[in-house]
Amino acid sequence: MPIISCEQMDTKLKGDIAEQAAVFHALKRCWGVLKPVGDRLPYDLVFDVEGNFVKIQVKYAWLDEPSGNYVVDNRRTKTNRRIMIRAAYKQSDFDFALVYIEKLDLFYIFPVNVFIDYGSEVHLVETNKRQRKPRSAQYREAWELILPASDKEIGEEKCVCSPVKHGEAEF
């Protein structure tokens, strides 16, 4: 079965792709991942980072052809069969927004206060078309922001995962 193009995907499928990519990247860092039941909460995932629970909102960025920038709406969208309601996120809704650019398989990791401080959209510049870097550049692949404060000072991630072969797990 052929893979469908991004233009053919609906927003729900794009969101699912971004969430699964976030899960993958978190697991590679040996973080636990919790998935809430349903989609009525203001966050999509919870990462367990060394015993600290971190609420994560995941967004899928699309390419705005005229500007060449990737764009993401930084508002909460609720839909039912007839209406779509957009509302601003609150500081207490989540801890970090992970904005996924599928074509580049990369994330921008925004603390909630930074993410909600933008207008209604966040524009991500992935080309060197400016003399100075945009404000968002410091959040590109900034996974270390999610680490507990003690690990940020050290500047490295701790990983105590060890592979277990099938049938060798201890209970």
Specify the pLDDT at position 127.
76
pLDDT of 17 reads 95
pLDDT tens-place string over residues 43-63:
999 999 999 999 999 999 999
- Given a contact cutoff of 8 angstroms between Cβ atoms, the answer to whether 58 and 15 are in contact is yes
Q: pLDDT tens digits, residue range 28-40?
A: 999 999 999 988 8
CA distance 36 to 60: 19
Please compute the mean of the pLDDT values over residues 139-160 and round it to a whole number: 74
> Alpha-carbon distance 52 to 9, whole Å?
34
Domains and CATH numbers, the chain: 6-146 (3.40.1350.10)
Q: Which of 113, 111, 104, 19 is nearest to 62 (CA)?
A: 104
Give the tens place of pLDDT for each residue, 112-144: 999 999 988 999 988 776 567 888 999 999 999
Beta carbons of 56 and 98 less than 8 angstroms apart: yes
Question: What number is the average pLDDT over the span 1-25?
Answer: 81
Q: Which two tokens stand for residue 75?
A: 């508002």
